[in-house]
């Protein structure tokens, strides 16, 4: 059963309610008794993971993450820096 967030527009009382999808929405506020209780729009409580979902496949337009390219770039620049320091004359 899903959990719905409700809030009274009159007194501001807020509450999460476990309801069936087929149940009718609550309208009477349990705090003040007025019929100004309304459902709030909330974010989904789950995230889709794994290959085949937008987050993992299409975020970077099909390019590989920068972390995979970083080791090859740092090792290339590190070798040229060490080569420069050894070719410097001591005199």
For the chain, give the DSSP string: --EEEEEETTT--EEEEE--TTSPPP-S-TTT--S-EEEPP---S----STTSHHHHTTTTTPPPHHHHHHHHHHHHHHHHHHHHHSS---
* Cβ partners under 8 Å of residue 26, min gap 6: 6, 17, 19, 37, 39
pLDDT per residue as tens digits for the range 4-31: 999 999 999 999 999 998 999 999 999 9
What's the pTM?
0.49
The pLDDT, as a whole number, for residue 86 is 54
The pLDDT, as a whole number, for residue 15 is 94
């Amino acid at each position: 059963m899903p959990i719905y967030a409700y809030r009274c527009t009159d007194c501001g009382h807020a509450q999460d309610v476990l309801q069936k999808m087929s149940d009718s929405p609550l309208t009477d506020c349990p705090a003040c008794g007025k019929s100004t209780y309304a459902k709030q729009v909330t974010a989904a409580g789950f995230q889709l993971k794994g290959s085949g979902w937008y987050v993992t496949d299409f975020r970077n337009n099909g390019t590989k993450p920068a972390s995979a390219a970083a080791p090859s770039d740092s090792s290339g620049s590190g070798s040229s820096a060490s080569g420069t320091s050894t070719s410097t004359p001591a005199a």
